[in-house]
Amino acid sequence: MIQTKLPKVGTTIFTVMSQLAAQHGAVNLGQGFPDFAVPARLVDALARAMREGHNQYAPMSGLPALRASIAAKSKACYGIDLDVDGEITVTSGASEAIFDAVLAVVRPGEEVIVLDPCYDCYEPAIELAGGVAVHVPLDPADFSVDWQRVRDAVTPRTRMLMVNSPHNPSGAMLTADDMHALADILRDTGIVLLSDEVYEHIVFDGRVHESVLRWPELAARAFVVSSFGKTYHCTGWKVGYCVAPPALSAEFRKVHQYNTFCTFAPAQHAFAEMITTEPEHHEQLGAFYQAKRDRFREQLLTTKLRPLPVPGGYFQLVDYSGVSDLGDVDFCRWLTIEKGVAAIPLSPFYAEAPAGQRLARLCFAKVEATLDAAIDRLQRL
């Protein structure tokens, strides 16, 4: 008889809700993927790379041209000078980078602080490393961090602290004050930071993404994870990267080389070209998504759902307490089956969700026709 290493893990809520949406013909605003086209230049570059024969193994740490373009973009965006050879590793998606980072430094019995609600791959990575996830809840009103609670959670066994900004599922963002508080907590400790920044370019209302890479004291002890899939609308390509100082990158690569070894080579050629020749894509991404956010929020105001503020990312939280007293999982199932709109409940993002919370997550990374069809159904609630 097999004893599972992940007793709390089943099929992810994202897969469950997408399957339910397909079965019932619902508009799928659940799983976070765009339903619009990948940039034409990127598709053309990918096809060209394959035709030109770039179809074999890429270097383990990533194509040199791609790592160079990542370094140039990081310098332009965050003012950091990166060692192309020693501090950038291309991975098969951000999830692989998160797993590699955790497995590289967390030993059995060590603790990793996570801030709830948090993305569902964090805790399984910690458990597979033999570590213990220590859950610190964010403020349920605005998803801000209570840094005193984080400080109180630190013990001699704490090995890593994980942060995520812009935040999934809420869209909340860390501020400069937050970064100062984070640095104060980590200073003079051996705690490693993992910063999940996959929505780094999707920020609104003139806000600044406070990447860990902007803060030398934090960058010196951090794995910073990014996603090409989120930035370039190609989540199915599964390409991301991790920036870390040389000593951490060396340990990270020890795991990466025996996990996937390398990442889809033609896409690496395409991304290297895209970043270099069309930087306006990532530079204008926030404005592109802000227009979608603003239009969707205006439409939601014509329903019984109450939209919460969204500083960044491409998810909209809605308070459904004006519609139903059901718990969030049951509400999202009802919404999908009976009303034809798939959403994601928040409770799977928590170790222990706040009592009475009535929130669901909708993805607005969709064409107008998809969002309009969803709104038409939500107006009938």
Q: Which pLDDT belongs to residue 11? A: 78
Provide the Cα torsion 340, 95, 155, 150; round to 10°: -50
Nearest to 229 by CA among 355, 369, 96: 96
Q: Domain map of the chain by residue range? A: 13-31+285-378, 40-281
The pair of structure tokens assigned to 271 is 């991304």
Q: Is the pTM of this model over 0.75?
A: yes
Fold that domain 13-31+285-378 belongs to in CATH:
Aspartate Aminotransferase, domain 1 (3.90.1150)
Q: Which pLDDT belongs to residue 220? A: 98
Question: In which residue are the tokens 């609630």 written?
Answer: 381
- Could you give the CA distance from residue 112 to residue 158 in angstroms, rounded to a whole number? 6
**Environment class of 294 (CB within 10 Å of its CB; exposed 0-12, middle 13-18, buried 19+):** middle
- Could you give the CA distance from residue 298 to residue 153 in angstroms, rounded to a whole number? 40
* Mean pLDDT per 10-residue interval, the chain, length 381 residues: 87 86 92 93 98 98 98 98 98 98 98 96 97 97 97 98 98 98 98 98 97 98 98 97 98 98 98 98 98 98 98 98 96 96 95 95 97 97 94
Which bin fits 208, alpha (ψ -120 to 50), beta or left (φ > 0)?
beta
Nearest to 177 by CA among 165, 192, 160, 189: 165
Nearest to 252 by CA among 96, 50, 114: 96
Helix axes 246-259, 94-105, angle to 10 degrees: 110
Q: How far is CA 350 from the centre of its chain?
A: 16
For CA atoms 265, 270, 276, 280, the dihedral sign is negative
The pair of structure tokens assigned to 5 is 């290493």
Nearest to 46 by CA among 288, 254, 232: 232
Q: Could you tell me the strand order of the sheet in which 344-345 lies? A: 306-307, 315-319, 359-363, 344-345
Contact 62, 268 (CB under 8 A): yes
**Strand pairing of 306-307 and 315-319?**
antiparallel
Q: Which pLDDT belongs to residue 375? A: 98
The pair of structure tokens assigned to 176 is 């400069």
Q: Which pLDDT belongs to residue 274? A: 98
Provide the Cα torsion 19, 23, 24, 25; round to 10°: 90
| One CATH from 3.40.50.920, 3.40.50.620, 3.30.750.210, 3.40.640.10 for 40-281 | 3.40.640.10
Q: Which pLDDT belongs to residue 15? A: 85
Q: Is there a common fold for 13-31+285-378 and 40-281?
A: no
Q: Which pLDDT belongs to residue 324? A: 96
